[in-house]
Amino acid sequence: MGLGKGNKHNEINSILGKGTEVAGDVTFSGGMRVDGVIKGTVRSEGSLIIGASGMIDAEIIVRNVSINGEFRGIIRASDRAEIHKDGKVFGDIYTPCLIIEAGATFEGRCNMSETEIPEQNSGSSTQSVYTDSGQSTESAVTETE
């Protein structure tokens, strides 16, 4: 993720190191890098970086997220979400900007126009979306009358 210098939302000021596991709600300001494990909920107005050894099983609500490790759950990124070539995402993403590098794994749905999870049976359907590697993922499509 292109973290700009001098931007307080992107500056990494918290690190959860390899070998550390946290269960519950995690809230931080600025930016955080996770090389350990988090299970629960993660909230911030800043940026979250999941390092290569990082694993998060949670709902995350952040400005930006950059994934090099593994994520399971729901991502709500108000600015952008990036899945790098070694990153793995199993879950749904809500963001206006999604970047998936070749070689990354994404199994779930992406919604780039809404930040809330659509209600069940709301006229939504899924369609297959194929990545550069030919892998299929499902993407939510809302039908209008």
pLDDT digits (tens, 9 = 90+) for 82-93: 999 999 999 999
Span 95-106, pLDDT tens digits: 999 999 999 999
Q: How many CA atoms lie within 13 A of 29 on its CB side?
A: 2
Angle (nearest 5°) at CA 13 between 48 and 9: 55
User: Cβ(97)–Cβ(80) under 8 Å?
Assistant: yes
Q: What is the pLDDT of residue 71?
A: 98
For the chain, how long is the longest CA-to-CA vector?
51
Measure the N-to-C terminal CA separation of the chain; round to a whole number of Å: 39
Span 139-144, mean pLDDT? 44
- Residues 78 and 95 sit within 8 Å (Cβ to Cβ): yes
Mean pLDDT of the chain: 81
Amino acid identity of residue 26, one-letter, is V
pLDDT of 44 above 90: yes
- The rounded percent of the chain whose pLDDT value lies above 70 is 71
**Model confidence band, residue 127 (pLDDT cutoffs 50, 70, 90):** very low
pTM of the prediction? 0.73
